[in-house]
Amino acid sequence: MTFASLGLIDPLLRTLDDLQYSIPTPVQAQAIPAVLKGRDLMAAAQTGTGKTAGFALPVLQRLTLEGHAVASNSVRALIMVPTRELAEQVLQSFLTYGPNLPLRSYAVYGGVSINPQMMALRKGVDVLVATPGRLLDLYRQNAVKFNQLQVLVLDEADRMLDLGFADELDALFAALPKKRQTLLFSATFSEAIRGLAGELLRDPLSIEVSPRNAAASTVKQWVVTVDKKRKTELFLHLLSQRQWGQVLVFVKTRSGVDQLVETLEARGITSDAIHGDRPQPSRLRALARFKSAEVQVLVATDVAARGLDIDDLPQVVNFDLPIVAEDYVHRIGRTGRAGTTGEAVSLVSADEVDQLAAIETLIQQVLPRDDEPTFIPDHRVPVTKLGGQIIKKPKKPKKPKTASGKGKIHLGNWFDEGSKTPTPRKP
C-alpha cells in the first residue's frame, strides 16, 4: 500500500516523498480514507505510530479542496490538545505536511502572552491547534469564532480530563457548530472518554490498531526495586554503569525534578528540566537543548509525557511511578518510536507497589525485575501478579507471653528475679 492509493492529492504526495514517507502506518492506512470521506472517527493507536499524520494529512486535503476563504478571527479546523508541548508538536506536523498548500496554521496555549495570539487570529487561520484553557479565554474575548468550523480533532482527550479541563471542554463544545466532522485520536481511551465520544461523534468509525492501552512492543521494560531514599544514588549508578547516553527521566513532583537536576549538575552531568512551574520559553529551550544533545539528561513531570517527539531516544527512566496508570504508556512511548527500539526502566520503592500493580494490570504483563545487588531494599517490594494481586509475605507469628520473667504481671503478684515463690503484692 502507498500514500497515493489512499487518495491523497499531488501536493501532499510530493511533500511525503521529500520526507521519505513511503508506506503508511496501519493507523494512517485506516484513518486517512475515512477522514477524506467525512466520517467521524475514534482511533486508538500506540504513541509513535504516526497518528498525527493520520488526521493532519486528510484534514489539510479537505480544507484545500473545499477552498473557502477564512474570515477574520475564524477557524476552519480546530485541533484540541492537553499540553503546550503537544500543541507545538502538532502545529509543526501541520507546517511540515502543508508547505505546498495555501493554508495558514497556528497554535495557542497558556503560559505566554495572549496579545500576540489575539493579533494573529485577526487574519483568521485555517488550522488552529489549541489547549482548552487558552482557547476558552480567546473565545470569551471574541478573539476566535467558530462559525466556519468544519473539523474538530480531540488529540489525547483522556489527558485533558486528567488535567481537569472538563468544564472548559463542556463550555467549548457548547459553542461549536453541531454540523461538523469530529475525530478522536489517542493512545489510550478511558471509559470517560468513550462516554464523551458517544455524545460528540455521529456514527463513528472505530479503529484500534493495537490492543487497548498496550505498551509499545519495541520498548524493553523492567523494574529495579530500591528504598525511596536511595533512588537518586541508584539512578547515578545505572547512568554510569550502563553507560547510558541521552536519558529522559520522569519524576512525580516539580520540586523532585529540580532536586534531581541540581544533583546531576553538581556531579558534572549536563541536565535540564521541564515542569509546570517553568515558563513556556524555558520549557521549549530545555527541549531544544535535549534534542540537539547539549544536555544528557532531561528531567520532567508528566506534563512532558505527551507531546515530546524526540528522534532515536534510547532510554526512558521512571524515577517515580505515575499516579495514573495510563501515563506509564505515554511515558515509555517517548522511546521505541517509528519502529526503533528503546528501553524503559522503573525505579520502584515499597510504597509504589499499588501503582506498579495497576500498571501491570493495564498493560497485561508483569514487568520483570532486575535488581542491583548493592541496592537491595530494606523495605522489600511485594511480588505482583496480573489482575492487581499483590503477594505479601506472611507476618512472623508473635512469641507467646511467658508466665514468668522480670517485670511480668501474673495473677496480681510480682515475681522477684531468681525467686520461685511469688511475693505478695503490696497494697
User: Residue 323 and residue 305: Cα distance in Å, rounded?
Assistant: 13
Contact between 78 and 153 (Cβ < 8 Å): yes
Residue 61 has phi, psi (to 5 degrees) of -65, -45
User: Residue 171 and residue 43: Cα distance in Å, rounded?
Assistant: 24
Domain ranges of the chain: 4-208, 219-391
Evaluated on CA atoms 87, 48, 163, 228, the torsion sign reads negative
**Exposed/middle/buried for residue 115 (C-beta within 10 Å: 0-12, 13-18, 19+):** exposed
> Do 4-208 and 219-391 agree at the fold level?
yes
Per-residue cell: 400: 507467646
Query: Helices then strands (H, E): number in the chain?
Result: 14, 17
Lookup result for grid cell 487497548: 212
What pLDDT score does 420 carry? 44
DSSP string, 201-257: -SSPEEEESS-TTPPPTTEEEEEEE--GGGHHHHHHHHHHHTT--SEEEE-SSHHHH
Query: At CA 324, angle to CA 319 and CA 327, rounded to 5?
Result: 65
What pLDDT score does 398 carry? 55
Per-residue cell: 189: 481511551
Contact between 155 and 185 (Cβ < 8 Å): yes
Contact between 341 and 321 (Cβ < 8 Å): no
How many C-alpha atoms does 419 have within 13 Å on its Cβ side? 11
Per-residue cell: 337: 518510536
pTM higher than 0.75: no
Q: How far is CA 11 from the centre of its chain?
A: 33
What pLDDT score does 404 carry? 47
What pLDDT score does 166 carry? 80
Largest Cα separation within the chain, whole Å, is 108
pLDDT less than 50: residues of the chain: 394, 396, 403-423, 427
Strand 413-414 relative to strand 409-410, pairing: antiparallel
Q: Which CATH number is 4-208 given?
A: 3.40.50.300
The 8-class DSSP code of residue 282 comes to H
Query: At CA 138, angle to CA 288 and CA 279, rounded to 5?
Result: 30
For residue 107, the cross-strand partners are 129
Identity of the residue numbered 383 = V
Per-residue cell: 310: 524526540
Lookup result for grid cell 547510558: 244
Q: Which CATH number is 219-391 given?
A: 3.40.50.300
